[in-house]
């Protein structure tokens, strides 16, 4: 009887430990909170990736919406929708060139902060849905599809930046 009790006790301890171990390993590839530093890296990366993509303008701006982020194998994947537009002083708040798209940015942490390891936009046209499903977790796909129709409501953010720029440059 004592032998059976010890056996069940050992089995119970083993199962409890296994469940805790599985729970801890899943949390290491879970959601990541976006810091101000990460958000700034996202902005800088969008600006850098688009600087030569559109026709030249006096000033370019970006706005983005982050759906979420996760970490796996030491890489932080940030899932976002970006709006990038260029403006000229002479045309004011009228967009001269622009681009909006879903993208994934992967970061790695190093001794100086974060380093961009990958920047990937969805494909256009017929490949859009497949590339979206390859880049984004399914929990964000529906929202991304909605946002492709309305620009993720980022236009107002950009307009404020443009108006601020115009007011400073006209003085």
pLDDT digits (tens, 9 = 90+) for 13-47: 444 444 444 444 344 457 889 999 999 999 999 99
Indicate whether 3 pLDDT > 80: no
Indicate whether 135 pLDDT > 90: yes
Burial 22-53 (b: 16+ CB within 10 A, else e): eeeeeeeeeebebeeebeebbeebbeebbeee
Predicted local confidence at residue 72, as pLDDT: 93
Band of residue 53 on the pLDDT scale cut at 50, 70, 90: confident
**148: nearest Cα among 99, 96, 111:** 99
Please answer whether residues 108 and 81 qualify as being in contact, where contact means their C-beta atoms are separated by less than 8 angstroms: no
- Mean pLDDT (the chain) is 84
- Kindly report the pTM of this predicted structure: 0.79
User: How does pLDDT run across 64-104, given as a tens digit for each residue?
Assistant: 999 999 999 999 999 999 999 999 999 999 999 999 999 99
Band of residue 147 on the pLDDT scale cut at 50, 70, 90: confident
């Amino acid at each position: 009887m004592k032998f059976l009790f010890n056996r069940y006790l050992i089995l119970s301890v083993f199962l409890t430990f296994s469940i805790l171990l599985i729970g801890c390993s899943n949390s290491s590839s879970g959601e990541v909170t976006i810091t101000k530093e990460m958000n700034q890296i996202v902005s800088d990366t969008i600006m850098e990736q688009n600087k030569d993509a559109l026709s030249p303008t006096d000033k370019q701006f970006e706005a983005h919406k982050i759906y979420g982020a996760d970490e796996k194998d030491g890489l932080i994947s940030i899932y976002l929708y970006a709006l990038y537009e260029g403006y000229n002083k002479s045309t004011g708040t009228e967009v001269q060139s622009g681009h909006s798209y879903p993208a994934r940015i992967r970061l790695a942490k190093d001794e100086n902060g974060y380093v961009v390891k990958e920047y990937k936009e969805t494909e256009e046209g017929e490949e859009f849905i497949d590339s979206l499903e390859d880049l984004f977790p399914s929990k964000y796909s529906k929202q991304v599809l909605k946002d492709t129709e309305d620009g993720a409501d980022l236009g107002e953010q950009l307009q404020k930046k443009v108006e601020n720029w115009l007011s400073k440059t006209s003085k």
